[in-house]
Structure 1
Amino acid sequence: MKNLRWVTLKGVANKTFLLTLGINCPHLEHLNVAQSPRIDDEAIANLIVRDTSSAESQRSVQVGVQHIPTNLCANSLKMICVSETNVTLASVGILLHFVPNLESFGGDIHAGSLCNVINDLHLKEGHKSFKLQELWDARILPQQASLLKVVCPQLTRLGTDASSLGSLEDLSSITSLTLSLYYQNFENDIYDYLLENGEKLKELILVDHINCYLDLSWLTELTPNLEHLEATVGLEEELEVLKWPSLKTARLTMESSRVLLAFLTNATEVRDLDITFVRAPYQETFECINDDLIICAVIEDGLKKIQKLKISECAIGLKGIDCLLLHCPDLCYLAPLAFWHGLYNQDLHSLMQRIKENNWQLKLIMRTDWEDGKELQEASKVP
């Protein structure tokens, strides 16, 4: 397999695999060995360095000696994911030092701070720069952000804790931002960041965000070019929501049908939508997401471009689905229908018959954890 370029050995890779790849795959570009407990610093050295058998070679790798022979894949590798393995920061240093075209580590490296390694290499090697386009680090300090701006000029995708937001204002190249909130409220910090950099963002992903509500009106105003969003959203009564024609995919948590309707009627180009409804105390239940809401959204030109629609729990029934089928020609996925309480077994049977008769490319998923469709086939047998 001399021309092999893309390899995923998630959970099963070891140092023998990596030694074989390093020797025999000179064009390797993408390697994912995440969650493989047998991947350690020795395995990474086997992949990159041509001969690690001698004690001198191993010592040279650890201290980062410039002129030691490397396997040909060291020049071709662009992404190597070592998340949830047993590598240390020594492997991060090896990869940054000996893989000149490295663009991404593919995810978090829990061994420590990537920025610290970059800073150490910068101090040892002078004006060294990196081709990293993606970077994940738990905490980024202001001086580290300033360094990244200089040594990683191609950096566009960044993942970090929301507590780092105050340090990121100078990283003007970022177009994709992933923030870990750890169920804390960083609403003001996020708004402050978006005021300066929101117009540049194309992707905003909030992780563990259930206790941080972002106002939909503010988001549409501050991130007009956003294409992908994952967040918890709300909407104050008196605020106006602007049109959001750039947004194509969204994974949203909300507690009000009013917020959902405002989103659907303004993000009219959305293709892939995943909605989780969380009931606030003494407020609406999932029953507020029903056929009438779908019909109202379609009347206001919402959902016309939708391809995949996932709503965790709702009261949408056959009437709402018929409306979608009539007005959404690209619709190809609905889920999870087991939690759409407006649907009955005879409705599912009718839908399956129509899909078959009309040869529609429409996938109906009862539960997203059972996407093989077996349970839907059983449901369709009900008379």
Structure 2
Amino acid sequence: MKSWYADFHIHIGRTRTNKPVKITGSKTLTLSHILNEASARKGLDMVGVIDCHVPEVMKEIEDYLEKGECYELSEGGIRFESLTLILGTEIEIYDENCQGPIHVLVYLPDLTKMKHFSDWLRARMTNITLSSQRIYEKAEVIQEKAKELDGLFIPAHIFTPFKSLFGKGVHQSISEIFDLNNIDGIELGLSSNTQMADQIAELHRYPFLTNSDAHSTQKIAREYQCLYLKQPTFLEWKKALQGNCDRKIAANFGLDPKLGKYYETLCSKCNSPVGQLVCDSCGSKKIVKGVANRIQELSSTSTCPVRPPYVHHVPLDFLPGVGPKTFERLLDSFSTEMNILHRVTESDLTGVVGESLAHMIVLSRSGQLTLEQGGGGTYGKVVNQKR
């Protein structure tokens, strides 16, 4: 077995002909830029691109295959040099059991099955060319279709206040919407971690995923996981989710929840912490309930299963003093962000960026940085600290 780094939730902003896919995504977030950034600069081994149902995206992948610039793996996935692309799609559900839109992720092993799934979606979706579109179908039917195609079904960013399973405060259980036996994992989202999510007993049966939900190349791998697999393929990842034959998620690397945009309940108008429906500071009723408060409402147990380590990862661009020029200097010296965050010694870092910033990078590896928590749609931040 070997360890492989993977981020399975990356959007496409534009097609190669500059047509929008994820409306809120960066215009430079094309498939080719994703593959280059993830491999050459981030140092990932696997990426899940979750807009592969879009016909023009599938055609671009097909052209790469025909030109010999990539090839399909016998165990699923598409290999671009040293990087494995996992084909995925994000879907918005709003059926009679779902009060408020919920995002889910479906991953499929090959392009033929993704084409089939795209055709199936087209009959149930208004615009197949865009990301995260609403599907007019029951959640359990989508789960069954994913399984028919040997795919994986994963509820996305389940605690985020908007478009998630638990975010709006309506649903108290996964079983209200989904077939519990057709869920392969749970994506936590940026404002929660393993310890928080495991306060909910019904989640104990599922593996947890930590992905970036990247809307720009810069945000790729702001959350990711380390997998123990024989090879970075779809089937090996599927076995890891099942804990099959020593394959496993070895560690989750996610933001400290306090850095997430929705950790604390805040007034979205004046950004003041609130504990009720009306802000004491400005009188606004525009309150965004924090993930920490929502999980407290759902908490059903203090007993937690044995999980992989959850490492409070701090992306380089969250660190004070790491601007674009410093980031490029680090990459010029150490090749990839994975090297900088995991492998390079403090003394080598010091030689490139100085003692203070080098020490901060090392502290980030062990979750020892001082943080100011986020909420209401604003990220938390790292407090500048001298050695």
Whichever structure has more helix as a proportion of its residues is 1
Larger radius of gyration: 1
Q: Fold-level match, TM-score > 0.5?
A: no
Q: Could you state the TM-score of these two structures normalised by the residue count of structure 2?
A: 0.29
